């Protein structure tokens, strides 16, 4: 019984070590790597993973029309209507006259 317990404890510790090594800390990644990953996840329809990376970029002050549109669109696809709408509104307010604002109006009509 004692050996069985020790094996389980060791396996549990190994699991947490591997999990912590494998977990990416998004804050430590460069903006260019984050953007590349975010765009890749977005194209693969992994909207939650893409959104996490776009939000880190936004918090770093990267508020380009493309990033703001993708944030709102990720919320749209994740069926978070209110967050999608508020982010589309922010995009239109800050970047009116861009193609992204026109796309935002189209998406808002679908909400």
Measured between alpha carbons, how far is residue 107 from residues 33, 34, 44, 60 in Å?
28, 25, 20, 26
Q: Choose among 88, 93, 87, 79: nearest CA to 106.
A: 88
Whether 24 has a pLDDT exceeding 90, the answer reads no
Residue 9 is predicted with a pLDDT of 65
Residue 4 is predicted with a pLDDT of 60
Could you give the 3-state DSSP secondary structure of residue 1?
A: coil
pLDDT digits (tens, 9 = 90+) for 46-101: 999 999 999 999 999 999 999 999 999 999 999 999 999 999 999 999 999 999 99
Q: Choose among 103, 78, 74, 76: nearest CA to 91.
A: 103
């Amino acid at each position: 019984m004692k050996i069985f317990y020790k094996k389980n404890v060791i396996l549990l510790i190994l699991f947490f070590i591997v999990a912590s090594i494998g977990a990416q800390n998004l804050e430590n990644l460069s903006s260019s790597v984050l953007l590349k990953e975010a765009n890749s996840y977005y194209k693969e329809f992994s909207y939650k993973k893409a959104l996490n990376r776009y939000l880190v970029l936004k918090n770093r002050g990267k508020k380009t029309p493309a990033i703001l549109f993708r944030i709102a669109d990720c919320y749209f696809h994740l069926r978070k209507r209110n967050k999608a709408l508020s982010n589309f509104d922010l995009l239109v307010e800050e970047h009116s006259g861009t193609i992204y604002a026109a796309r935002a109006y189209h998406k808002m009509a679908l909400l």
